Chains A and B, each alone.
Chain A
């Protein structure tokens, strides 16, 4: 499969595909971060995670429309407002869902899975009713369009770089929040020993609700970033949910570093293979490799020793 390309071509291909992989990696990381918090820290399987992401994407779409018609002067900066709103909307919906649904099911993880699947169907149909079945895209501000020419054969799109920058910032923020803040310490305390955390005065129910809301809010940001690189439809979230779960499981459920490492390896493998093989074969090989490795090493790449 390498035979037809010269060495310089190959290196350009690897750089370009590597960069395409990095954009995929950014979206995967943002989605997986939220899921790693919810699944890894709380043990809850949220099958509606993709729909929380799509909510963020639709909020961004609405914002882009609003700024275009009412505040054209501020249009170049709308994306930052949209991202904050996406976080708030998805986070608020997440906390509502936690209160109405999830908190009754902490003892029954498999049932949570079914209930959140039901939720995802309802959300999908809601999106279809409100926004229509067709995919929508947002108008990018002019400063995000175009690409940077690095060498003759390598050029890098600006929106991709922007998405990567946002991913880096959010990841750093989450890492700081989880490992350096008081809230993060409370979350980790509840994960490691719930009764003891309650006994020292942590309001475990509130921590659960905020954690779930945070995870969903990050999914909203992921959706917001997703609009930069792709269009949004009512069922777009479902396309990513299996990959994201595999990323979280592959990385080792409770480890943020593992999540990032596995998102990186999966997205790079997939996008590099995609150039040489057809898209579907690349995906099959990547997923098969992940499932195969998980069968041999079910605890994932990075593990955290926790007393349950």
Chain B
């Protein structure tokens, strides 16, 4: 049956489908209106912290959902971004006046406690804000590029890649905890005060940072959407489904995989930097194996194929975590463990999958009902 072309179907590949614009508007409304209006300053800061995890989930949708590369080391990139930012903030907080009681004034307090008398060379450039902002992006991207190139060139993928990224997360955590004098050890880098002279500990600063965080998240979603709709996004999906065919068609599979991995790393790093700014510290407990794999569940609950789903999943899991671990700390691990199993066994496409299978067909039917044209099938899940 030939339907008359409605305006939305004139372009064959629009940037976003109408329903996706609706999803974006809904998400933006919740982030910029509903949450700020309904929550007090403390809870809003908490929501901002959750949203900084959503960057990681977004990266995982690109890398794992579309590309089929499961990285269990996203905490590494979250941590690298966060630590770059924290190093800058710490240096600013450790000015000579602030630290004059130390035996060596002008260096971070934990270095002084560990009998280090001069700033290590790799800390020095972080005194500059522009350098720090570049480093937040470039350091994780370079690291991901090196790891990705080494692995994907040799056609390491799937479970092997997951195990090796997990090992990298373990190594980095042990390194940070062990090198206390240079990294702040298990406590991490704490007592961060100002960003280029602006006090980040006040409620108004938290508010502003929340909105900056939200805007960055929406920007990242749009960029991810751009990647998804581009030819590159299609190649990623093709690679996930039949890697050999893509290779035999002449594409450099390793290059595309490395790109997806690097993009996920950059997203995670932006999230890490925003996390540090909003929460006011960074510690190895956001780098290791446990947080890294928890970040995977955000994307899995939201739907590993849905950019918006990943954000909702992150908010939902973290909200549940805070609520349950406040009132029933014993139950939370059972809940989280059960969630992993349930999502994998029953809802492999997460919330977005449930929406596409159950809610969207009804909405479409209701929308179509007045026109009495019951032929429209729900478009295939992406």
Q: Which residues of A contact B (CB under 8 A)?
A: 39, 43, 45, 101, 104-105, 108-115, 117-122, 124-125, 128-129, 238, 242, 245-246, 249, 278, 280-281, 283-284, 287-288, 290-291, 294-296, 298
Contacts and interface: CB of A to CB of B under 8 A. Distances in A.
Given A111-B344, A287-B171, A122 B333 contact: yes
Contacts of A298: 151, 154-156, 160
B162 interface: yes
Contacts of B159: 39, 43, 45, 109-110, 113
Interface string B275-314: 0000000000000011001001100100000000000000
B254 interface: no
Contact of A104 (B70, B150, B178, B345): B345
Interface of B: 64, 70, 72, 147, 150-151, 154-156, 158-160, 162-164, 166-168, 170-171, 174-175, 177-178, 289-290, 293, 296-297, 300, 330, 333-334, 336-341, 343-345, 348
A111 B168 CA distance: 20
B334 A101 contact: no
Contact of B166 (A101, A118, A242, A281): A242
A147 B217 CA distance: 61
Contacts of A284: 171, 174-175, 178
Contacts of A108: 344, 348
Given A118-B339, A124-B333, A281 B163 contact: no
Dominant SS among interface residues on chain A? helix
9 contacts: A101-B345, A114-B343, A114-B344, A117-B340, A118-B340, A128-B330, A287-B167, A291-B168, A295-B150
Nearest to A300: B160
Contacts of B333: 121-122, 124-125, 128
A288 B164 CA distance: 10
Given A121-B337, A125-B330, A287-B170, A245 B163 contact: yes
Contact of A111 (B164, B175, B348): B348
A122 B334 contact: yes
A118 B168 CA distance: 21
A105 B336 CA distance: 19
A7 B159 CA distance: 46
A281 B290 CA distance: 21
B70 to A, nearest CB: 5
Contact of B345 (A109, A115, A291, A296): A115
A266 to B, nearest CB: 12
A18 B319 CA distance: 49
A113 B161 CA distance: 12
Contacts of B72: 113
B133 to A, nearest CB: 29
Contacts of B156: 294-295, 298
Contacts of A124: 333
Nearest to B171: A287
B154 A295 contact: yes
Dominant SS among interface residues on chain B? helix
Q: Which 7 A/B pairs are nearest by Cβ-Cβ distance?
A: A118-B340, A280-B178, A121-B337, A122-B337, A125-B333, A118-B337, A295-B150
Contacts of B290: 238
Contacts, number: 119
Residue of B164, B340, B343 most packed against chain A (CB within 10 A): B340
Contacts of B339: 118
Given A118-B336, A245-B163, A298-B156, A281 B344 contact: no
Given A105-B344, A114-B343, A287-B171, 7 more contacts: A45-B163, A104-B345, A120-B337, A121-B336, A242-B167, A288-B171, A295-B164
Nearest to B166: A242
Contact of B300 (A114, A129, A290): A114
A219 to B, nearest CB: 17
B175 A291 contact: no
A290 B163 CA distance: 12
Contacts of B170: 242, 287
A129 B72 CA distance: 28
Contacts of A101: 341, 345
Contacts of B337: 117-122, 125
Residue of B289, B293, B341, B348 most packed against chain A (CB within 10 A): B341
Nearest to A281: B178
Contacts of A120: 337
A79 to B, nearest CB: 31
Contact of A113 (B162, B289, B345): B162
A291 to B, nearest CB: 5
Nearest to B177: A280
A216 B330 CA distance: 26
A245 B70 CA distance: 16
A124 B290 CA distance: 13
Contacts of A119: 337, 340-341
A102 B338 CA distance: 15
A108 to B, nearest CB: 8
A295 B151 contact: yes
A108 B159 CA distance: 10
A280 B174 contact: yes
B158 A290 contact: no
Contacts of B344: 105, 108, 111-112, 114-115, 118
A291 B160 contact: no
Contacts of B158: 109-110
A278 B180 CA distance: 12
Nearest to A105: B344
Contacts of B340: 114-115, 117-119, 121
A31 B79 CA distance: 30
A165 to B, nearest CB: 31
A283 B334 contact: no
A39 B162 CA distance: 13
Contacts of A125: 330, 333-334, 337
Nearest to B331: A125
Contacts of B168: 291
Contacts of A295: 147, 150-151, 154, 156, 164
A278 B345 contact: no
Contacts of A111: 344, 348
